[in-house]
């Protein structure tokens, strides 16, 4: 059993490695993608600078707080998108019948699909998070916690991507919905929860896992609390289990197509 | 001309298949508006406060309409399609056809966005009335003027994006440049009206597509001013001429570079 | 143990129907209409280990659906499937280790990697120990003559070279049965022959069962000992090549060149397929006449050239497709 898990992870890592090698073939494009993503994220600082120039304190939120949030958000997103990019366009993969290749291989289909692609710009996101953390002069302990929580948050994020992607098993026209749900998670996570009212805060804590992926980890880094950490861990287990469960259930309904892919 | 209309019709037909997908695109828009309404609620402590010439009501409507534009403008499918056509060689089949590829893309674009535009007007108005309330400074008389500016805005937007995408002939991936364009448009013209920035920055922005694509149309709908209308229109005409010439030039040069792999 | 056992297999699909044009698109926004199509309808067949079977049918006949159910891609609605004694529904991973697949239109290889790296990767997927993978790569290298291309990235290889690599990648774990879907599509005649030779060799050396789908008559003629034809979701033919010859190859095609225009009237057992001034193409039914009877109908001295051939397998298969 453990051997099987080890083998699955081994192939998953190989898949990520080969994808990375493939992307690095064009060095200029590779580096440009990363730098542009970092620049892309930095743009939002301008947005906040303008806001803070109009009003320097918004419901207790400060620029420093926003930077920490951004760092966590970018890093979590980056981790999830880099290692498990296949989880985010799962809906299209299902609808276009591209699961076939993975179904005829003796490995866990979901893990293989999730690691079948990487997103180079996500490296930019992860780096950006680190840069911000260094910029705000975090301690070594905080940096280590930051990395660990990025990994946990990123995995929950990917699991959420899978859960929404499974809508593709139900309807071929649901990719809009899947993508919308993911974008809610991504968009909201860069805004402090203080700007929302209680009702919304409930939704983003328990339905769309913004709290688990970004808010909670962000707080934990600077104010570690074992109880909150356990909540995070439980959230991780629930999301990942649900992802696998729904995906395997969905496979029973899978109907592939005779799509011809170009030989490139 | 007729063939471009057929392309427009075929694309529109294609898009109608996926109304569900369309509506969910506006989900993202609704989301951003929702977030900003919450954000600005905390910035405008007093709803009667005026910040840089904008009341709370005007500011929210500006963001709403700006975001609606931004959502409709992007059309990633088209730009990705152009990049893939060039990188994978399908462009060879399109060069053979009796149309000029950039104009073909423009016809496709309008087919793509037609439904989006109609939906966005509906969604934006409904959302605005629900979340914000009536736009106090709005007047129906301004619509014909705004319409002219909007059409020019769309044209500049698409030619600019085509020009960037067609650079796939030279560089492998023009996506980063499209990102940068989107970010500039978003941060400097959509999220905030340009009045929020210092005078120097405002002057610079007036020469960029931000002024003509996003700020101009949005401002004129929220708070119409004839002087601004004239200024935007002149800028639009100049920018459109420049961008069309650049676009066609980049494309023509690239056409000669077509190198399609054998089987 | 049989390689493939299929009993009463069925599968249906639900498809949306839409009227044509813009009006139809608008209509379908409001109301969706569906129809249920039975793609595979109660089919039963067996394949012994070591057999090379052609699985044919016109487009839309249910071929791909059947293969996808056999290989564990699709779930069946009704019936039983056992591949090497394994049920694809319940033991997908176990099945995956016993089968190899080459889908001509879907590439599995990493294009930026060399064939060597690809084979190592596939070895990992199938949990084949490293030393065994090396051994097999060496084996296949000799057989498939890959020395020149072993270290060239796949994207720089020709189609024929890629297919060879795809086949090896699908055999790296020594499966018992190989599913080939259009393996020679797009290949030139010389390469096609080479691929067919290699497939036949695999079958002989490793007792590898081959389950082949192809629209290429050459593939079928040169490789297969048995043909199963499916049409409209049902099996319409399941015979060995010999049986098919006996049942369907009952006519001879005779082409004649004559010295002058010949007055020839068709009679029972002879059909005129083509007639020009000094040329005749006839079809002769062996159930009524012998080939030599042609000389009773046309004087020998008026014939300047004659060729006698079998009906083509292609026309036989077309006939079978059309008669159902």
pLDDT tens-digit series, residues B179-221: 888 888 888 888 888 888 888 988 998 889 999 999 999 999 8
Q: For residue B262, what pLDDT band results from cuts at 50, 70 and 90? A: very low
**Between A39 and C9, whose confidence is greater?**
C9
Q: What percent of chain B has pLDDT over 90?
A: 16
* Lowest model confidence (mean pLDDT) among A4-8, A63-67, B135-139: B135-139
Residue B232 pLDDT > 50, yes or no? yes
HEC states along chain C? CCCEEEEEEEEEEEEEECCCHHHHHHHHHHCCEEEEEEEEEEEEEEECCCCEEEEECCCCCCHHHHHHHHCCCCCCCEEEEEECCECCCCCHHHHHHHEEEEECCCCCCCCCCCHHHHHHHHHHHCCCCHHHHHHHHHHHHHHHCCCCCCCCCHHHCCHHHHHHHHHHHHHCCCCCEEEEECCCCCCCHHHHHHHHHHHHHHHHHHCCEEEEECCCHHHHHHHCCEEEEEECCEEEEEEEHHHHHHHHCCEEEEEEEECCCCCCCCCCCEEEEEEECCEEEEEEECCCCCHHHHHHHCCHHHEEEEEEEECCHHHHHHHHHHCC
Q: How confident is the model at residue B24 (pLDDT cuts 50, 70, 90)?
A: low
Count of alpha carbons within 13 angstroms of residue B107, beta-carbon side: 17
Q: How many CB atoms lie within 10 A of CB C59?
A: 8
Residue of A nearest to C76 (CA): A252
What is the reported pLDDT for B259? 54
pLDDT of residue A262: 35
Q: Is the pLDDT of residue A258 over 60?
A: no
Q: Least CB-CB distance to B13: which of C25, C159, C186? A: C25
Does the pLDDT of residue C29 top 70, yes or no? no
Give the range with max mean pLDDT: A29-38, B124-133, C91-100, C273-282.
C91-100
- Chain B residues in contact with A264 by the CB 8 A cut-off are 88, 261
C138 with C119: CB under 8 angstroms? no
Predicted local distance difference test score (pLDDT) of residue B17: 59
Interchain pair C68, A263: CB under 8 A: no
- The sign of the torsion formed by the CA atoms of B164, B166, B170, B173 equals positive
**A51/B25 Cβ within 8 A:** no
- Tokens (6 digits) for C313: 């397998």
Q: Token pair of A3, please? A: 């051997």
Band (pLDDT 50/70/90 cuts) for residue A246 is very high
Residues in chain C within 8 Å Cβ distance of B16: 22, 25-26, 29
pLDDT band of A263, cuts 50, 70, 90 = very low
- Residue A129: pLDDT over 70: yes
pLDDT at residue B261, rounded to an integer: 44
pLDDT in tens, C274-293: 888 888 898 888 888 888 88
Q: What is the pLDDT of residue A155?
A: 96
Q: Over the stretch C189-213, which tens digit does the pLDDT of each residue have?
A: 888 898 899 899 989 999 999 999 9
Q: State yes or no: pLDDT of C315 exceeds 50.
A: yes
Interface of C with B (CB under 8 A): 18, 21-22, 25-26, 28-29, 159, 186
Which of C68, C88, C111 has the highest number of chain A CBs within 10 A, making it the mutation to test binding with A?
A: C68
Contact B27 A180 (CB under 8 A): yes
Per-residue pLDDT at B69 exceeds 50: yes
Distance between CA atoms of residues A21 and A23, nearest Å: 5
pLDDT, tens digit (0-9, with 9 covering 90-100), for B42-56: 888 777 788 888 888
By Cβ distance, the residue of C18, C21, C29 closest to B19 is C29
> Quick check: helix, strand or coil at residue B136?
coil
pLDDT confidence tier of residue A72, bands split at 50, 70 and 90: very high
Residue of higher predicted confidence among B32 and A258: B32
Q: Is the pLDDT of residue A261 over 70?
A: no
End-to-end Cα distance, chain A: 38
- pLDDT for C269 equals 84
Q: Distance (Å, rounded) from C-alpha B217 to C-alpha B155? A: 13
Question: Residues B102, B166: contact at Cβ < 8 Å?
Answer: yes
Helix, strand, or coil (residue B55): strand
Predicted-complex ipTM score: 0.80
Q: Which of A180, A191, A197 sits opposite B35 (nearest CB)?
A: A191
Q: What is the mean pLDDT of chain B?
A: 82
Mean confidence (pLDDT) of chain C: 88
Q: List the structure tokens of B23.
A: 């509506």
Q: Which of A136-140, B257-261, C96-100 has the lowest mean pLDDT?
A: B257-261
Q: How high is the pLDDT of residue A85?
A: 96
> Which of A43, A195, A264 is facing B38, going by the closest CB pair?
A195
Task: Write down the residue that tokens 């001429």 correspond to.
Answer: B241
Please determine, for residue B171, whether its predicted confidence score (pLDDT) is greater than 80.
no
User: Given this model, what pLDDT does residue C169 score?
Assistant: 93
Cβ neighbours of B176 in A, within 8 Å = 32-33, 35-36
Q: Is the Cβ of A173 closer than 8 Å to some Cβ of chain B?
A: yes
A219, two tokens:
């707080």
Of A242 and B187, more confident = A242
Q: Which residue of B has its CA nearest to A189?
A: B35
Determine the Cα–Cα distance for residues C109 and A91; give it in Å rounded to an integer. 23
Cα–Cα dist B186/A175, whole Å:
25
How does pLDDT run across A149-202, given as a tens digit for each residue? Answer: 999 999 999 999 999 999 988 887 777 778 888 888 888 888 988 888 888 888
- Whether residue B34 contacts residue A187, with contact meaning beta carbons closer than 8 Å, is answered with no
HEC readout, B3-18: HHHHHHHHHHHHHHCC
Confidence band for A259, pLDDT divided at 50, 70 and 90: very low
Give the nearest chain C residue to B21 (CA atoms).
Answer: C29
Which of A62-71, B162-171, C220-229 comes out lowest in average pLDDT?
Answer: B162-171
Q: Which chains touch A (3 or more CB pairs under 8 A)?
A: B, C
The CA–CA distances, whole Å, from A91 to A165, A173, A178, A182, C146 equal 4, 9, 7, 12, 39
Instruction: Give burial (CB, 10 Å; 0-12/13-18/19+) of A65.
Output: middle
Nearest by CB: C121 against A18, A22, A263 = A18
Unique residue bearing structure tokens 């980890």: A217
pLDDT reported for residue A172: 76
CA of B66 vs chain C CAs: smallest distance (Å): 29
Longest dimension (CA), chain B: 68
Residues of chain B with Cβ-Cβ distance to A50 below 8 Å are 192, 196-197
Q: What torsion, rounded to 10 degrees, do the Cα atoms B129, B134, B140, B144 define? A: -60
Contact C93 A107 (CB under 8 A): yes
Handedness of CA C283, C289, C294, C298 (dihedral sign): negative
Q: Do A176 and B187 touch (CB under 8 A)?
A: no
Q: How confident is the model at residue C24 (pLDDT cuts 50, 70, 90)?
A: low
Q: What's the predicted TM-score (pTM) here? A: 0.80
Angle between helix B101-131 and B19-43 (nearest 10): 50
Q: Is the pLDDT of residue C35 over 50?
A: yes
Give me the mean pLDDT over the C244-268 stretch.
84
Could you say which of C25, C159, C186 has the minimum Cβ distance to residue B17? C25
Per the CB < 8 Å rule, is B196 touching A29? no
How far is Cα C318 from Cα C193, in angstroms, rounded to an integer? 23
Q: What is the arithmetic mean of pLDDT over A66-71?
A: 93
- For position B22, what pLDDT does the model report? 66
């Amino acid at each position: 059993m453990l051997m099987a898990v080890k083998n699955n992870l081994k192939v998953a890592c190989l898949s990520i490695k080969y994808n990375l090698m493939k992307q690095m073939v064009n060095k200029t494009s590779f580096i440009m993608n990363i730098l542009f993503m970092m620049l892309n994220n930095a743009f939002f600082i301008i947005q906040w600078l303008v806001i803070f120039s109009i009003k320097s304190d918004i419901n207790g939120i400060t620029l420093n707080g926003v930077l920490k949030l951004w760092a966590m958000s970018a890093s979590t997103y980056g981790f999830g998108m880099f290692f498990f990019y296949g989880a985010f366009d799962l809906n299209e993969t299902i609808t276009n019948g591209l699961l076939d290749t993975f179904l005829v291989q003796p490995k866990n289909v979901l893990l293989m699909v999730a690691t079948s692609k990487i997103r180079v710009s996500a490296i930019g996101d992860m780096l950006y998070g680190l840069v911000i953390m260094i910029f705000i002069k975090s301690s070594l302990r905080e940096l280590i916690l930051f990395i660990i929580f990025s990994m946990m948050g990123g995995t929950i994020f990917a699991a959420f991507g899978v859960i929404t992607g499974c809508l593709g098993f139900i309807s071929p026209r649901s990719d809009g919905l899947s993508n919308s749900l993911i974008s809610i998670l991504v968009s909201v996570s860069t805004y402090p929860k203080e700007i929302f009212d209680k009702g919304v805060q409930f939704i983003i804590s328990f339905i769309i896992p913004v709290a688990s992926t970004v808010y909670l980890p962000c707080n934990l880094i600077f104010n570690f609390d074992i109880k909150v950490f356990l909540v995070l861990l439980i959230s991780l287990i629930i999301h990942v289990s649900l992802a696998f469960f729904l995906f395997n259930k969905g496979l029973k309904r899978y109907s592939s197509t005779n799509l011809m892919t170009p030989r490139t | 001309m007729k063939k471009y209309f057929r392309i427009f019709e075929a694309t529109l037909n294609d898009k109608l298949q996926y109304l569900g997908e369309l509506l969910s695109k506006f989900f993202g828009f609704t989301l951003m508006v929702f977030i900003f309404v919450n954000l600005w609620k905390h910035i405008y402590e007093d709803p009667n406060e005026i910040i840089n010439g904008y009341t709370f009501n005007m500011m929210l409507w500006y963001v709403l309409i700006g975001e609606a534009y931004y959502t409709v403008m992007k059309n990633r499918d088209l730009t990705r399609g152009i990049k893939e056509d060039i990188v994978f060689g399908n462009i060879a089949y399109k060069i053979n056809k009796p149309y000029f590829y950039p104009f073909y893309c423009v016809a496709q674009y309008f087919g793509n966005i037609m439904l989006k535009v109609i939906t966005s007007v509906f969604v934006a108005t409904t959302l605005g009335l629900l979340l914000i309330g009536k736009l106090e400074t709005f007047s129906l008389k301004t619509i014909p003027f705004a319409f002219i500016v909007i059409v020019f805005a769309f044209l500049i937007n698409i030619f600019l994006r085509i020009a960037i995408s067609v650079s796939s002939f030279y560089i492998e991936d023009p996506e980063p440049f499209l990102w940068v364009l989107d970010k500039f448009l978003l941060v400097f013209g959509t999220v905030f009206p340009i009045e929020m920035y210092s005078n120097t920055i405002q002057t610079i922005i007036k020469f960029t597509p931000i002024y003509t694509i996003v700020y101009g149309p949005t401002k004129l709908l929220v708070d119409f001013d004839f002087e601004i209308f004239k200024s935007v229109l002149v800028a639009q005409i100049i920018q459109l001429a420049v961008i069309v010439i650049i676009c066609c030039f980049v494309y023509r040069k690239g056409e000669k570079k077509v190198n399609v792999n054998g089987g | 143990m049989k390689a493939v056992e299929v009993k009463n297999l069925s599968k249906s699909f639900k498809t949306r129907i839409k009227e044509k044009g813009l009006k139809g698109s608008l209509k379908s926004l409001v109301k969706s209409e569906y129809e249920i199509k039975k793609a595979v309808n109660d089919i039963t067949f067996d394949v012994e280990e070591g057999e090379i079977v052609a699985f044919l049918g016109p487009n839309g006949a249910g071929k791909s659906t059947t293969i996808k159910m056999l290989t564990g891609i699709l779930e069946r609605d009704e019936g039983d499937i056992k591949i090497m004694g394994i049920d694809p529904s319940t033991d997908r991973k176990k099945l995956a280790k016993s089968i190899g697949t080459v889908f001509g239109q879907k590439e599995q290889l990493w294009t930026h990697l060399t064939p060597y790296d690809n084979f190592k990767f596939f070895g990992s997927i199938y949990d084949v120990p490293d030393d065994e993978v090396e051994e097999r790569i060496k084996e296949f290298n000799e057989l498939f003559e890959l020395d020149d291309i072993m270290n060239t990235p796949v994207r720089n290889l020709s189609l024929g070279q890629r297919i060879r690599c795809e086949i090896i990648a699908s055999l790296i774990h020594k499966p018992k049965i190989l599913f080939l879907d259009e393996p020679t599509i797009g290949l030139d005649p010389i390469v096609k022959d080479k691929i067919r030779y290699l497939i036949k060799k695999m079958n002989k050396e490793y007792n590898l069962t081959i389950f082949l789908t192809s629209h290429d008559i050459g593939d079928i003629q040169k490789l297969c000992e048995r043909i199963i034809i499916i049409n409209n979701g049902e099996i319409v033919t399941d015979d060995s090549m010999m049986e098919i010859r006996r049942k369907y190859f009952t006519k001879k095609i005779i082409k004649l060149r004559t010295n002058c225009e010949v007055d020839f009237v068709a009679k029972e057992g002879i059909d005129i397929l083509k007639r020009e001034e000094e040329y005749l193409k006839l079809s002769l039914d062996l159930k009524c006449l012998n080939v030599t009877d042609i000389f009773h109908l046309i004087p020998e001295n008026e014939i300047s050239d004659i060729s006698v051939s079998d009906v083509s397998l292609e026309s036989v298969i077309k006939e079978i497709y059309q008669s159902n």
